[in-house]
Structure 1
Amino acid sequence: MNNLSTPNVSQKFIETLILIHNNFYRQTKLPIPLNQFGALMVIFTEESVSITDISHILNISKQQMTTVIDKLVCNGMVQKAPDPHDRRRSVITLTPAGQKILDDQNERVRQLFNQHIQQLNEDETAQLSDSILTFNQLLEKMFIN
């Protein structure tokens, strides 16, 4: 198999995810429990989401997710509203406080990135920037239906 085989590329992708997690996300302390933060991320990325949807995406039981969402509601980070298309379902949305948690975490990661990018010279920084842009464009292309 050559160096560009699918298993090789997918292994490099996993290695990239681990590097990002270990060097950025693990280095910043989350202000809320991980399961609550994960729920906030799902709510942020999905347009209209129910507790059942979140539990499926995060692979957490609906009962556990209900507890997580109730805590987020009590802390003012999300709100529940009846789904206008299905009375049996509630739609979960971020509040400004929930969005601030995500924005603050992203800012901590950006600051850590900016701190460490100083170790690269100008050419390396440009190369990294181009590589990230290409990486993002190719990932988006992979998921165009």
Structure 2
Amino acid sequence: MDYRQTAETLFHLIPLLEKNFVRPVMQQSRLPLSPAQIRVLVRLSDKKGTTMTSLAKELVMSKQQMTPIVDKLVAENLVKREPDMEDRRIIHIVLTAAGYEMREKCKVETLAILQEKLSGLNDEDLTALHIALTDLYAVIHKIP
């Protein structure tokens, strides 16, 4: 298999995923958060949190863009800033209890919307999609 063919398939797949899954979830969501705020909550899954720099890098935006997003989440008591115990210059962004609750609401609502989108598939197609997505997930985690 050549890299170009795989890259071309991904090139065509990404907009389809955006159109068929990402956009509908964002449009149908009843949560009082922006898509960027939801992405931050979903990313902050571990207890120790992450730094602004790491968060911005992972979500592919600048720290300057990330700051107002985090500021709004702090104002809503969904995240908090905690200084690093070893180096007080480092600030970790950590989910609060309310942030965990909101993240769970996001997950429940997103899963409901996705399940509705998938309900038109027959069992054979649903099984094939599940296997393909599971394989894709495993392979993508190997990409540096």
Distance, in Å, in 2 between the alignment partners of 1:139 and 1:116 is 23
Structure 1 residue 25 corresponds to structure 2 residue 22: yes
Q: Which residue of 2 aligns with 1:126?
A: 127
TM-score, length basis structure 1: 0.77
Q: Which residue of 1 aligns with 2:86?
A: 85
Residues 29-84 of structure 1: per-residue CA shift (max 9 Å, x gap): 35312332333233337964122322333344434433322221110110111101
Q: 3-state DSSP class of the match of 1:119?
A: coil
Q: Which residue of 2 aligns with 1:111?
A: 112
Structure 1 residue 94 corresponds to structure 2 residue 95: yes
1:57-96 equivalent positions in 2, closer than 5 A: 57-96=58-97
| Aligned residue pairs, count | 140
TM-score, length basis structure 2: 0.77
Contact 1:50/1:89 (8 A) holds in 2: yes
1:14 counterpart letter in structure 2: F
2:100 counterpart letter in structure 1: Q
Q: Residues 116 and 94 from structure 1, CA distance in 2 versus in 1: closer, same or farther, beyond 3 angstroms?
A: same
1:42-61 equivalent positions in 2, closer than 5 A: 42-44=43-45, 48-61=49-62
CA positional deviation for 1:6: 1.0
Mean CA deviation greater in 46-55 or 64-73 = 46-55
Q: Residues 17 and 53 from structure 1, CA distance in 2 versus in 1: closer, same or farther, beyond 3 angstroms?
A: same
- Structure 1: where are the runs of 5+ without partners? none
Contact 1:25/1:109 (8 A) holds in 2: no
- Cα RMSD between the aligned structures? 2.6
1:70 counterpart letter in structure 2: D
Contact 2:25/2:114 (8 A) holds in 1: no
Q: Which residue of 1 aligns with 2:10?
A: 13
CA positional deviation for 1:8: 1.7
- Structure 2: where are the runs of 5+ without partners? none
Contact 2:44/2:50 (8 A) holds in 1: yes
Distance, in Å, in 2 between the alignment partners of 1:76 and 1:13 is 38
